[in-house]
Amino acid sequence: MYPFSIDVFAARNCWYVASFSRDVTRTPMERWLLDEPVVLYRKENGEPIALEGRCAHRHFPLGEGKLVGDNLQCPYHGFTYAPDGQNVRIPSQDRPSAKCRIKSYPVVEKWRWIWIWMGDPALADPALIPDHGDIGLDDPKLVTDEVLHEELDARYQLIHDNLMDLTHVAFLHQNTLGGGSEASASAKVTETEGENWMEGERIIQNIPTTPHFAGYLGYDGLCDRIIGQRYYLPALHFGWDKYAYPAGHAEAGKIFGQLLVYHGITPARRNSAHYFFATARDFGQEAQEEMRAATSAVIREDVWGLSHVERMLRACNDEMPPEYSARSDTQQLMARRKLEKLIASEMKMAAE
């Protein structure tokens, strides 16, 4: 299915963001992840739990269920499941059935995300979650914020496409992040990659400080802007937007503000996706609400754009006319192929 050239959906043996911590409580919550219903809740000691969200008896959605201690009771006929998915009670009989169980998914709570492993539980190694120290989430000098969670009416691959081609900043975000300048679209990109990540960075010199943030940065003159993005395949993008004084300024080269951004992308259904967006920054620290509004306005522009692309794709029933790719699409195309290869190799392994 587009944009993949073969019929694959999503990688499973990897960590995805399932939720922000604040949304997982003692009230069970249904969430579709990788086209599966999942129910999330917390045990009495606060530990997060993720179980299959459909009762093994007659398919009732367990997100409607009730917690009995640490166990989850289906509201239809009262079947009750332990946090490991094992049935522990069938009210109409004396004993529960060992054969009755639902899936239980490994979860890890790190920073203020709940990470979930939807694939083979035996392979769920928490060390595979991108190191939060490397991406600034442990930095005490930065203020962090869980800005928004949106479920997009667009397939998840479109969000990766969007984040792998930042030439869109100058146009889709011209009223916010782009600051009305087209310079970011033509800036030279330095591309690097590692085993499970790929990165692109552009430096744009002598451009106006985007009015969208100038008030919080305390500077509205010309600046040099360093914009980069690292994609940790397959589920997290880490970006940076750094502002430095330009040549000719008394403090030329000094960075006077940085905004780090985190995009957790998790397939929901085949044509929809969860977008978990968070930030860390060293400016506007006292203006959390205003900065949340300013940064979420940027993501809503992406949400608007991608839902329109999805609409066009559906209208074609995936019989897509050929698409033209520009030189700036090289990394995006590489990311598509890498992801496709990862999924195909998982499927091959599962079939063996």
List of residues contacting ligand FES (CB under 6 A)? 55, 57-58, 60, 74, 76-79
Give contact residues for Fe ion (rule: CB under 5 A).
302
Q: Which is nearer to ligand FES, 81 or 216 (CB)?
A: 81
328 Cβ neighbours under 8 A, 6+ residues apart: 165, 167, 185, 189
- State which residue, 58 or 311, has the beta carbon closest to ligand FES: 58
Provide, rounded to whole angstroms, the least separation between the CB of residue 97 and ligand FES: 12
State both tokens at 143. 């203020």
Distance CA 188, CA 107 (A): 40
Give the separation between CA 134 and CA 140, rounded to whole angstroms.
13
Please, what is the minimum distance in Å from the beta carbon of residue 342 to ligand FES? Answer: 36
Q: How far is the CB of 55 from ligand FES (least distance, A)?
A: 3
* Nearest to Fe ion of 297, 344 (CB atom): 297
Residue with Cβ nearer Fe ion (12 or 281): 281
Q: DSSP character for 338? A: H
Name which of 22 and 58 has its Cβ closer to ligand FES.
58
Task: Identify what 337 binds: ligand FES, Fe ion, none; CB under 5 to 8 Å per kind.
Answer: none
Residue 305 Cβ vs Fe ion, minimum distance, rounded to whole Å? 8
Q: How far apart are CA 150 and CA 304, in angstroms?
A: 11
Q: Classify residue 123 by its DSSP letter.
A: G
- Contact between 291 and 173 under an 8 Å Cβ cutoff? The reply is no
- d(Cα 343, Cα 10) in Å, to the nearest integer? 6
Residues 294 and 261: their CA atoms lie apart, in Å, by: 13
What are the tokens at 15?
Answer: 């960590």
From residue 130, alpha-carbon distances to 126, 141, 165, 191, 301 in Å are 9, 20, 21, 19, 27
Smaller CB separation from Fe ion, 302 or 346: 302
Coil, helix or strand at residue 136: coil
Least distance from Fe ion to the Cβ atom of residue 209, Å:
19
302 binds, among Fe ion, ligand FES, none (CB under 5 to 8 A by kind): Fe ion
Q: What is the DSSP string of 263-307?
A: EEEEE-STT-EEEEEEEEESSSTT-HHHHHHHHHHHHHHHHHHHH
Toward Fe ion, which CB reaches closer, 199 or 302? 302
Q: How far is the CB of 149 from Fe ion (least distance, A)?
A: 16
Least separation in angstroms between CB 185 and Fe ion: 13
* Shortest Å distance, C-beta 110 to ligand FES: 32
Q: Give whichever of 21 and 307 is closer to Fe ion, judged by the CB atom.
A: 307
Locate 7 and state its tokens.
């019929």
Torsion of CA 152, 26, 15, 104, to 10 degrees: -110
- Give the CB-nearest residue to Fe ion: 302
57 binds, among Fe ion, ligand FES, none (CB under 5 to 8 A by kind): ligand FES
- Can you count the helices (H) and strands (E) in the chain? 6, 18
Find the shortest distance in angstroms from Cβ 104 to ligand FES: 17
- In the complex with ligand FES, the residue whose CB is nearer, 92 or 317, is 92
Q: Rounded distance, CA 172 to CA 165, Å?
A: 12
Burial class (CB in 10 A: 0-12, 13-18, 19+), 78: middle
Which residues have a Cβ under 8 Å from the Cβ of 138 and sit 6 or more positions away?
Answer: 111, 132
